Amino acid sequence: MAECQLTAGCIFYNDKMPNKPGTAELMKNRYCRGDFASCARYMVFEKLGRPKVPADLFPGQADKAKSILASQ
């Protein structure tokens, strides 16, 4: 299975999850190593580019990502 191209430099995991490695690993398995197209961060990145991905956007916040995309 392919891994998301953003995983290595994803600020969400590198900056927001350092004290929760177990949770981060579960989320990486689901979004980064699984269906990364459903990751809210990836959705925004794919359509608007990395600078438009909010730092506080969680991978599971697809509704928020869709709202961001609709407002552009």
The pLDDT tens digits for 1-11 are: 678 888 888 87
CA atoms 9, 14, 17, 20: torsion sign: positive
pLDDT tens digit sequence for 15-65: 666 677 788 788 888 888 888 899 999 999 999 999 999 988 999 999 999
Contact 65, 59 (CB under 8 A): no
**Residue 3, both tokens:** 């891994």
**Residue 8, both tokens:** 């290595």
pLDDT of residue 5: 86
pLDDT of residue 46: 95
pTM: 0.84
pLDDT of residue 38: 93
pLDDT of residue 6: 86
For residues 39, 56, 17, 48, the Cα torsion angle rounded to the nearest 10 degrees is 40
